[in-house]
Amino acid sequence: MGQGMNVNRIRQNYLAIVVAAAACFLFQAVWYGAFLDVWLKGIGRDRNWLEHSGVNPFLQWAVALLIEMLAAGVISAFTQLTGAQTAVRGIRVALALWAGVVMPVTALGDVFAARSYASFAVDAGFWLMGMFIMGTIVGAWKKK
Number of domains in the chain: 1
Q: CB under 8 Å to 36, separation ≥6 — which residues?
A: 47
2 in any annotated domain: no
**pTM of the entire predicted model:** 0.90
22 in any annotated domain: yes
d(CA 31, CA 127): 10
d(CA 49, CA 53): 6
5 in any annotated domain: no
Domain membership of residue 80 as a residue range = 13-140
Amino acid type, 70: L
8 in any annotated domain: no
Per-residue pLDDT band at 7 (split at 50, 70, 90): low
**95-113: per-residue pLDDT in tens?**
999 999 999 999 999 999 9
